[in-house]
Each structure stands twice: as C-alpha cells, then as structure tokens.
Amino acid sequence: MGQSEQEPLPPSDPRLPPGQRLQRGWPVLHYGPVPRFKPLTWDFQVFGATASAEKHSWDFTGFHALPRVTVQADFHCVTRFSMLGNDWTGVPASAVLEQVPPAPGVTHVMVWAEYGYSANLRLEDFADPRTVFATHHNGEPLTVEHGFPVRLVVPHLYAWKGPKWVRAVEYMRADRRGFWEERGYHNRADPWAEKRFSYQEEPGDGPLR
C-alpha cells in the first residue's frame, strides 16, 4: 500500500462527501496480485443481454481506436480518502453502449476484471457521461499498480465500483452483487449518502442477500 498524507478540508467545502478527507498522492489499494499484461492475448468483451444476442470483443489496438474523452472528476475511496480534480482519459462507457447496444429490459451491468473480480452497476450509472474506461490519469498512462491497461472510473460512486484491469462488461436484466458487494459493501455505493456497507441498505437498494 502506498503512503501519502491526508489533510482535512473545511467542513463547508462542497467538494468532499461526508466523512471524506483530502488525499495527497494516490495510495495503491487492491485485492490480490497485480496481473501481468499480455498485449497479444488481451481483449475487451461485451456479453450477456446484448441487442444482437451475440458477444462482441476488441483486441488491444481495436479498443484504443474507440472514441476517447478526457473527464475531470474527483475520486472517492470508501476508506475515506478523496482525490480532487483528476483528469481521466479513456473510452467513455457511452461509446461501448453505442457500439454494442443492450437488449430491451437490461437494467444493470457487471464489470469484470482480471482474476474474476467484478463490480455491479445500475445501467444509468454505467451510462453516465462521466463514466470512463480510463487509460490515462492526469495526462500520463496508468501504471500497472493503478490498473493499466484499463480501469473503470465512475466519479459519482465510491471507487470500488470502478475496477482496475477491466476485461469485460456483462449486460444484465436483473441486479447481481459483485465481489465487494458480496462481502459486505453497499450495493449502491453513493458517497454523498455515505452508503458504505450492506447493513445500511434499504429495500430497493439491491438484490436480496
């Protein structure tokens, strides 16, 4: 885990959700080992309830040829640190949805990463204009510890909803808990409402446990 300093911002500062502290530097936090990148076999898949009922995939070159954007957005970790004003450059989730439309009735997606790690999202969160499959942070390529070659960034949710080392998106007609959601984290992950843990869930926040 990386070491860095945390500083409190004034309580009235509108940029920080409740319970968060300003972070200088970017700690390295993840579950399991850092995967080895293999460019010749790497691909990015979209499967599940697609409009065509078929799986679609891009190789490394094809994925990086998709439309790209730079999004300025904050980063809120459930461990209570926040990094403000980051520039994330990559493929917007909206471009993936345009290239591979979901079938009628799709309400959620599961984002899959290396080693079977997963995070579930409502379709509306995934389709948000600022949700991006980031390849660069503040103009520099991601390091492997921070998710190279691709990590998902969903700025309006806690950062665990944006896995590192993403490999696939599954379209779903019903919600299903991801890796951390199965282990006690909140299904919605709204930092402004401090939805951190599953015991805080109310009816409608997620599938039954």
pLDDT in tens, the chain (209 residues): 333 444 554 555 788 999 998 887 777 766 677 888 999 999 999 999 999 999 999 999 999 999 999 999 999 999 999 999 999 999 999 999 999 999 999 999 999 999 989 999 999 999 999 999 999 999 999 999 989 999 999 999 999 999 999 999 999 999 999 999 999 999 999 999 999 999 999 998 999 76
**Residue 142 near residue 171 (C-beta atoms within 8 A):** no
Predicted local distance difference test score (pLDDT) of residue 33:
79
**Residue 75 near residue 153 (C-beta atoms within 8 A):** yes
**Residue 70 near residue 87 (C-beta atoms within 8 A):** yes
Predicted local distance difference test score (pLDDT) of residue 25:
72
Which residues are within 8 A (CB) of 165 and not within 5 positions of it... i.e. 6 or more apart?
35, 113, 114, 117, 147, 148, 149, 150, 151
Predicted local distance difference test score (pLDDT) of residue 26:
73
Predicted local distance difference test score (pLDDT) of residue 8:
53
Predicted local distance difference test score (pLDDT) of residue 3:
39
- Residue 88: both structure tokens together: 């994330």
Residue 174 and residue 200: Cα distance in Å, rounded? 21
**Residue 66 near residue 95 (C-beta atoms within 8 A):** yes
State how far the alpha carbon of 177 is from the alpha carbons of 61, 118, 193, in Å: 31, 9, 20
> Has this prediction a pTM greater than 0.75?
yes
Q: Is the peptide bond before 149 cis (omega within 30 degrees of 0)?
A: yes
Number of neighbours of residue 124 by Cβ within 10 angstroms: 9
